[in-house]
Structure 1
Amino acid sequence: MITIPSWLADFGLSLNRWHYKQRLESSYLRGTSIPSWFDHRIDLYYQWPNNLFWLERGFFARRYMFEGCTVLDLFCGDGFYARNLYATIAGRIDAVDKESRAIAHARAIHAHPKITYWQKDAVKDGLPGASYDVVAWFEGIEHLSEEECTLLLNRLKAAVGEQGTLVGSTPLVAKDQAGKNNWEHQHEFETADEVKSLIGRYFFDVHVEVTVYPELKAGVRRTAYFSARHPK
């Protein structure tokens, strides 16, 4: 058995951390063309443990999953959650994102026999399946216009049916910060009640909870997590 010296292991960790620090700065902070998806290895290898809120969505979704369940990971981005949190319990996962680079990354880095990665625009192209036990839609609802949101939520009602669950999240912003958080956001929510009111137009059983992280360098992070069942 080969034992790696502690100094070499520490050097490897430092090099890995430096690599993802450079990736964060070059691609997301200083880049001229900022990707619409995020490589969560940056959170794992560079921003850990000072930034933990990004893990919440994975564990929140796991509350509603059970052994062998079918999952739709909507706006899946880099595929981190599908591979590392959902695939450990789900029986089948359809992971969908309209961004070709995100899907290429997911297939290369987060491939798994239970996961099929689809490059599809869920609004324009529809969903890859008709029925799911859990639909996970995190950090996505704020990217849609009112018309797009209406279309997609009606599709999700049919996809979860009477037995499934829709879970998701959206950041909450202060009035003076509206429109300043992400160039792709079409509607930003200010309160949990606003989120609950919107989802409540389509589902009877809606629950929303808010987490707050005041210690982040970029400012206070407030996130509304919602779950919904029993379509109207």
Structure 2
Amino acid sequence: MNIQHIQDILFRSSTNEEEALQIKNLCELYISKFWEHTYYQSMANYGHHVWHPHQLDLAMWHRDRNPHFAERGIYSHQVISPGDNVLELCSGDGFYTYYFFSGKASHVDALDIDDNALEHARRHHSSSNIQYYRSNIVLDPFPEVVAVFET
């Protein structure tokens, strides 16, 4: 199946189930390959994997139906009270920062040492109440916060 075939199917008035399933599978494959590429590009840049693109987990969730990747966010979300200030260490791609913390917290300071992860976070997971910082959490001082909890 090529792009022209997909366009022909999408722009006609009726699509049979087999064609719709082919398009769905192709879209899922594209998404998973895109995030797989992002993952391996990260490894190529550093010689080892530094941060994980959590969109890959979402793209693949339907296959293994294992919600383990969301547990950190869900458990943390349960202990955040509306109006809290949150300090997130090793925020990576900002997935948890945006989807689980920023919805309840009045402000989130998210720290990570990886410039590529922070660039991704700022581009894909930004909000007016999130501030991303490049920081070595062992050597650099933390921003001022009201409360800190471990996830």
Please give the range of the TM-score, normalised by the shorter of the 2 chains: 0.7 to 0.9
Greater helix share, structure number = 2
Partner of 1:37: 51
Greater strand share, structure number = 1
Supply the distance in 2 between the matched residues of 1:57 and 1:118 (Cα, whole angstroms). 21
Partner of 1:167: 150
Say if 2:39 and 2:53, in contact at 8 Å, map to a contact too.
no
Structure 1 counterpart of 2:134, from 114, 119, 126: 119
Structure 2: which 5+ runs fail to align? 1-12
**What TM-score do you get using the length of structure 2 for normalisation?**
0.74
Cα deviation code 1:4-41 (max 9, x no counterpart): x7866972564244332453267349x54333100000
Structure 1 counterpart of 2:74, from 42, 46, 59: 59
Cα deviation code 1:72-129 (max 9, x no counterpart): 1110000000111111111100011011111001001111111001111111112122
- Code of the residue aligned with 1:95 in structure 2: it is A
Say if 1:27 and 1:34, in contact at 8 Å, map to a contact too.
no
* Greater RCO (CA < 8 Å, at least 6 residues apart): 2
Indicate how the Cα distance of structure 1 residues 95 and 26 shifts in structure 2: closer, same or farther if over 3 A, else same: closer
Supply the distance in 2 between the matched residues of 1:77 and 1:108 (Cα, whole angstroms). 13
Indicate how the Cα distance of structure 1 residues 23 and 123 shifts in structure 2: closer, same or farther if over 3 A, else same: same
RMSD across aligned positions (CA)? 2.8
How far the C-alpha of 1:66 sits from its partner, in A, is 0.8
Partner of 1:211: none
Does 2:29 align with 1:46?
no
- Code of the residue aligned with 1:103 in structure 2: it is L
Supply the distance in 2 between the matched residues of 1:85 and 1:124 (Cα, whole angstroms). 27
